Amino acid sequence: MAAGHEWLRHQIVTELRQQTHQLMSTAASDQAAVLRAVADLNERVDAVARNVERVLDALRDQGVRNAIAGGSATSDVHRRHLDLAQDYRRLVRQEVRFLVRLLCPRLDGEGDTDLARRRAETARRLVELLFEPLDQPMARKQEQIVAELRRLGLTTEVPDFQAQFGTAFRKAATLRDAVVGLPHTGHLDFLADVTVLPPDRYEAWDGKQSDGAPPEFLIAPAYVIAGDRPQALTQPIVFVAPVIRPGAGR
């Protein structure tokens, strides 16, 4: 930024010296030429001033972008990402959770842990279908995702599923469009190895995890904002074998 200011100062000084020299050369012999030179000088100074403002604006904008990318400043873009990250988390925690309960009713003789794991695996697949890649518009049609879920043997014909899934689909598509429209895009970190994460670095999908049990697999990745120093705005949501309580039901 300082180098840019020095360059601009040098340009202005050089321009003024050239115009002053021309004025002094013509002042003694031609008053009309002096007036024309003064008018020309004013126009050129105005042009230089406009260029200075444009360059300074560009430098300020670049400085802000660098600060955001480096994690040292918060902008409207960053705050918008924070809002979208929370929208994503709510969609997973609420809509996706409700949908997998419809898609995965308890099977005969199925225990609580097996049911929880099966629903978590379905939730993981549903998150992939709805949100990956986050920084691109929704490419699949609603009917295509439903067909994929049906192919996986899930109960897509149960009452309320179509209406509930339609709502979740539209919200996911809107969220992805919003991410695409931001200068610094966001993405979901599907490559994270959640099995090595400490308990304060993830959210358990289904209640409290068993004492000492590590995460088994990723369900919903962290929402990460791009930049020189990528920043996770949500924690990954993972499956950990739940604590089994006596009398636990559906």
Segments forming the whole domain that contains residue 103: 76-239
Interval 159-176 mean pLDDT = 96
* Closest by Cα among 56, 80, 38, 68 to 182: 80
Task: Examine residue 227 and state whether it is found in any structural domain, yes or no.
Answer: yes
pLDDT in tens, 195-220: 999 888 999 998 666 566 789 999 99
Q: Looking at the 3D structure of the chain, how many domains does it have? A: 2
Q: Are 165 and 98 in the same domain?
A: yes
Does the residue 248 lie in any domain? no
What would the pLDDT profile of 39-81 be if each residue is shown by its tens digit?
Answer: 676 666 556 655 655 554 444 445 444 544 555 445 688 889 9
With a CB cutoff of 8 Å and minimum separation 6, the contacts of 204 are: 215, 237, 238, 239, 240, 242
Shared-domain flag, residues 105 and 44: no
In-domain check, residue 22: yes
Task: Say how far apart CA 247 and CA 250 lie, in whole Å.
Answer: 10
Sheet with 237-239: list strands edge to edge: 203-204, 237-239, 217-220
Which residue did the predictor score with more confidence, 76 or 99?
99
Domain check: are 31 and 137 in the same one?
no
For position 64, what pLDDT does the model report?
40
Band (pLDDT 50/70/90 cuts) for residue 84 is: very high
Q: Which of 40, 69, 98 is the last residue of a domain?
A: 69
